[in-house]
Amino acid sequence: MRSALCALGAAAALVLLPAAHARAEGQEPDRDFALRDARITESSGLAASRAHPGIYWTHNDQDAPLIYGVDSRTGETVATLTMQGVGTPRDMEAISVGPDGDIYVGDIGDNLDGSWDHVWIYRFPEPKVLKDQKVAAEQYVVKYADGPRDAEALMVHPKTGRVYIASKKQDGGGLYAGPERLSSSGTNVFRRVGEVPWVTDGAFSPDGGRLVLRGYFTAQEYVWKDGRIEGEGTAVGAPFQGQAESVTYTADGSALMFGSEGKNSRVLRVEPPSGGGGRETESPGAPASPGASASPSASAAPGPGEQGNVTVGFLVLAGATLLVVAGKRLVRRR
């Protein structure tokens, strides 16, 4: 049942996928590519490497402690990392790279809507050499100040190193801030600092001045200032995907990369509304310059022929994705 539902969602996405995403592969990095590794069937998180240009880290939505390094030039896996010292993960949903060069993995999913009183974050240094290897990871126990909840988005601020989690709820979730520094010897309490829409992943821009949050059908880019979301955010022209699960900025902040679950799933490049203002050219934590404006090509507003595609696409993909999510929950309850 699960595979059939996923196929339905994927088929809907393929029909509705804009032609602009049909770029050639195997050439420039940080462009559209497919995850060609047969082991990657439920890519649930995505993070651009800071040490290796054009490489993206991802993982399956499952209980295996494996992280895959994928070359965006070819879509091939160039490194498989096996985390050690973390026990058996329950539901890994997100991945992010911190300012210390460490990779953070969020084992934060809870498809039973708050049945676990704690979740985990894993952390290990990004490897200097791309090869299959075992990595020693630290494990952090996480609890929410207002009780257990499901979440799929974990973001590490690229300047302060503070970890944030966005909870997942159809009618809107919360943005939670962790302590200034995570502790491996005690419980790390995350406290609600803002409200967010239905979120499946998120990422900070490399300069720390922007935060993008995506859901199954939409994405928003927000100004980030003083540890908070500022304003209502700007719509991002997110692509339609079978099960929209991941997003990250490119390492230089010039674009957003959107991923989804499924075999041979595609990672698609989208220009941000900020016009690539996420590049590391500004002071730490500063938002984009007030005078900066996005070019017409970076505008999130749909063109005359796109609005119908958005409406039809939403209706078709909404039904398909809800079936996928429902099927996934049924499978995991068994």
Q: What is the pLDDT of residues 102-145, one digit of tens each?
A: 999 999 999 887 789 999 999 999 999 999 999 999 999 999 99
pLDDT at position 276: 66
Q: Tell me: pLDDT of 10 over 60.
A: no
Give the closest residue to 178 by CA, choosing from 165, 159, 166, 160: 165
> Is 225 inside any structural domain?
yes
> Is 22 inside any structural domain?
no
pLDDT at position 291: 32
Question: Of residues 41 and 308, which shows the higher confidence score?
Answer: 41
pLDDT at position 277: 54
Q: Tell me: pLDDT of 289 over 50.
A: no
Other Cβ atoms closer than 10 A to 28: 11
pTM, entire model: 0.79
> Is 100 inside any structural domain?
yes
pLDDT at position 27: 67
pLDDT at position 26: 54
Concatenated DSSP letters for 211-228? EEEE-SS-EEEEEEETTE
Q: What is the CATH number of the domain that holds 195?
A: 2.120.10
> Is 75 inside any structural domain?
yes
Mean pLDDT for 17-42 is: 75
> Is 322 inside any structural domain?
no
Sign of CA dihedral 242, 247, 251, 256: positive
- Of all residues in the chain, the percent with pLDDT exceeding 90 is 70
What's the chain's average pLDDT?
A: 82
Q: Nearest-5° angle of CA 208, CA 235, CA 43?
A: 70
Q: Tell me: pLDDT of 233 over 60.
A: yes
> Is 8 inside any structural domain?
no
Residue 39 structural domain: 28-301
Count the domains in the chain.
Answer: 1
